A and B are shown apart, each in its own frame.
Chain A
Amino acid sequence: DTGVSQNPRHKITKRGQNVTFRCDPISEHNRLYWYRQTLGQGPEFLTYFQNEAQLEKSRLLSDRFSAERPKGSFSTLEIQRTEQGDSAMYLCASSYGTGGEKLFFGSGTQLSVL
Chain B
Amino acid sequence: GNSVTQMEGPVTLSEEAFLTINCTYTATGYPSLFWYVQYPGEGLQLLLKATKADDKGSNKGFEATYRKETTSFHLEKGSVQVSDSAVYFCALRGSGNTGKLIFGQGTTLQVKP
List chain A positions with a Cβ less than 8 A from chain B: 4, 31, 33, 40-45, 48, 55-56, 91, 93, 95, 97-108
Q: In the complex, which of the residues A41, A56, A107 contacts B42, with contact meaning CB atoms closer than 8 Å?
A: A107
Q: Kindly report which residue of chain B lies nearest to residue A96, judged by CB atoms.
A: B99
Instruction: Please indicate the chain A residues that have their CB under 8 angstroms from the CB of B45 in the complex.
Output: 104-105
Q: Are B43 and A107 in contact (CB under 8 A)?
A: yes
Q: Kindly report which residue of chain B lies nearest to residue A94, judged by CB atoms.
A: B99
Given contacts A42-B104, A45-B100, contact A99 B44 (CB under 8 A): no
Instruction: Please indicate the chain A residues that have their CB under 8 angstroms from the CB of B96 in the complex.
Output: 99
B105 within 8 Å of A by Cβ?
Answer: yes
Q: Are A95 and B99 in contact (CB under 8 A)?
A: yes
Q: Are B99 and A103 in contact (CB under 8 A)?
A: yes
Given contacts A43-B89, A105-B45, contact A56 B103 (CB under 8 A): no
Instruction: Please indicate the chain A residues that have their CB under 8 angstroms from the CB of B51 in the complex.
Output: 100
B80 within 8 Å of A by Cβ?
Answer: no
Instruction: Please indicate the chain A residues that have their CB under 8 angstroms from the CB of B44 in the complex.
Output: 43, 91, 93, 103, 105
Given contacts A105-B43, A105-B44, A106-B43, contact A44 B97 (CB under 8 A): no
Q: Are A42 and B103 in contact (CB under 8 A)?
A: yes
Where chain A touches its partner, the secondary structure class is loop
Instruction: Please indicate the chain B residues that have their CB under 8 angstroms from the CB of A33 in the complex.
Output: 99-100
CA separation between A103 and B34, bound complex, in Å? 11
B38 to chain A, nearest CB (A): 9
CA separation between A108 and B44, bound complex, in Å? 10
B77 within 8 Å of A by Cβ?
Answer: no
B81 within 8 Å of A by Cβ?
Answer: no
Q: Are A48 and B100 in contact (CB under 8 A)?
A: yes
Q: In the complex, which of the residues A40, A48, A101 contacts B106, with contact meaning CB atoms closer than 8 Å?
A: A40
